[in-house]
Amino acid sequence: MPPWNSSKAKVQLKISCQRLRTLQQKQEAQAKATRREIANLIERGKIETAKIKVENIINQDIHLELLEILELYCELLLARFGILDQPVREPDPAVVEGVNSVIYAAPRTELRELHILRDLLMHKYGREYSAGVMENRDTCVTDRVVRKLVVETPSAELVDAYLTEIAKAYNVKYVSEFSTSEAKSEDDEDTSDGGEKASKNQADSDEKKGDTAKGGKKPPPAKAPSPPKDEFEALHERFAALKKR
């Protein structure tokens, strides 16, 4: 690991910010081309192939979010470089989150400049501190970074939601598997509950007649609870920019 050098560290922070921004733009352009390809697959009825490509798009989106976070932390360290450059063995609370994030996440990026910056920080704070960060002892690394580095297969619901949004963005017809199954389930419930609803309606009618005979007034109906927030609402916002492209 190279020894701590203030001038070199500051230069590496500036270059890292620029390279992270450039890499994000490159990956966004690639993702746009892939989304267009997925729309063509949906139009040709090759849904299974489209699903595989969507899984790749989801993983790329997560990696892109990681790059955005690292760029933010590099900007933060640059703005607070005077605090970062202090001769201490542990980072100040004002920069500790950014320092730990770079040490922890830089190896998962392909940016040489970020790797050099990580080596400088590890040398500055020592092997023991750096090892603790790499092992995320006492959850010293922010959860927003750790979650972006978890490797897992996207859920079927999320894949379907991506397919739905891509189809909307490119005006391609796509029938969501989950919306179809939900509609079928609702129809089955309506059929099975038909008798119960009819009985309930009859009981309500009899109750109204009784209230009228007694001269009483029926209390106003209770306000229906607001529907739960759509778990994919954030996904809709995320793809809103697509419709303008």
- Give pLDDT tens digits for 164-204: 999 999 999 999 888 655 544 555 555 455 545 545 555 55
Question: According to DSSP H, which parts of the chain are helical?
Answer: 6-43, 47-79, 81-84, 96-105, 112-125, 127-134, 143-146, 156-169, 177-192, 194-214, 233-238
Q: Give the pLDDT of residue 151.
A: 86
> What predicted TM-score, i.e. pTM, was given to this entire model?
0.72
Tell me what percent of the residues of the chain surpass a pLDDT of 90: 67
Encoded tokens for 175: 């029938």
**Which residues, other chains included, contact 132 with Cβ-Cβ below 8 Å and sequence gap of 6+?**
138, 140
- Determine the pLDDT at residue 244: 47
CA 182 to each of CA 102, 166, 234: distance values in angstroms, whole numbers, following the listed order: 44, 21, 21
Q: Is the pLDDT of residue 65 over 70?
A: yes
Tell me, what DSSP letter sits at residue 109? S
Residue carrying the six token digits 């994919």? 232
Least confidently predicted of 38-52, 124-138, 224-238: 224-238
Task: Find the helix packing angle between 47-79 and 96-105, rounded to 10°.
Answer: 140
Nearest to 122 by CA among 243, 3, 242: 3
Rounded to the nearest integer, the mean pLDDT of the chain is 82
Asked if the model's pLDDT at residue 238 lies above 50, the reply is yes
> How far from the centroid of its chain's Cα atoms is residue 9's Cα?
31
Q: Backbone phi, then psi, for 37, in 5-degree steps?
A: -65, -40
Non-local (6+) Cβ contacts of 27 within 8 A are 60, 63, 64, 67
Rounded distance, CA 233 to CA 37, Å? 24
Query: Residue with structure tokens 């050099």?
Result: 116
| Mean pLDDT (whole number) for 123-142 | 95
Side chain identity at 141, as an amino acid letter?
V
Q: How far apart are CA 84 and CA 230, in angstroms?
A: 42
Quote the longest CA-to-CA distance of the chain: 93
Q: Report the 10 Å Cβ neighbour count for 86.
A: 10
**CA–CA distance, 10 with 31 (Å, rounded to integer):** 32
For residues 60 and 91, what is the distance between their CA atoms, to the nearest angstrom?
31
The single residue listed with the structure tokens 């509609």 is 183
Averaged pLDDT for residues 205-222: 49
**Contact status, residue 35 vs residue 99, Cβ threshold 8 Å:** no
Which domains does the chain carry? Answer: 6-149 (1.20.1260.60)
